[in-house]
Structure 1
């Protein structure tokens, strides 16, 4: 069970190490499909437990991860940023911030092993292929609800012919 920022930062570091850095768009899709694969392989348990994916124009997005990495635009993200845990507003109108401690953003060894096992398979695809695959899932056509429904996703990917990564 991991936090979205932990997964994002690990994917960024690992992708760079492999020599295939990811853009924000590709990061979002890889995180989504890692979560899907985790649902399938780990008894319907999501990989990312602190945030929900939302349905955006280019597929699933975790808003907080998008916000933190949006300054990169379509460029590759070469290293994780320092994430802000909280902002402290002072009476004089100034503000300070408190970043996360590095240990708070560490993934456990099992989550790292899981990501390592599937990341290279997902890195083979360009961002727009991943967008296309995310839009094949029926729930992305339902504009009445912005929230990602993991149960629908699980049901869709139970059918092995929908698993493009295999």
Structure 2
């Protein structure tokens, strides 16, 4: 793996991750939006060996861009990186064509390992299935599933859950709890 495309709307994170990966000898292309990423793919003469795609890109879901990226680079590994990991979005990312899914914070070695891993393996060990999830984590997962079913529409999700939209927004603004 020699050339990566990093797609994230957080320019500070992009800059930091880019510097770390460049120190490891990789060539890096950056894009702050999916539209720009598609342009970079077309403009870059060097083959892209891996894509790191943020799940939340300026209020829209990075998942929606996986098919377009997959169309341009059908055999390139795509890693979805997110600060708000959930089982629902992980499953959706893989169904749409991502090869790996990784929760932030993730260091450069974890990102590289995930990009180089076979899509049938996980770079991190799954939670022990005998250990049930906490009630807060189950709630988070349920909210993410219903939000996904409503295409990310918070108002429709709040109606489906029979709760006030602002309450749902506050719950979604919090980081997911550990298992």
Instruction: Sort the TM-score into its range (normalised by shorter chain).
Output: under 0.3
Greater fraction strand: 2
Larger helix fraction of residues: 1
Highest RCO, 1 vs 2 (Cα 8 Å, sep ≥ 6):
1
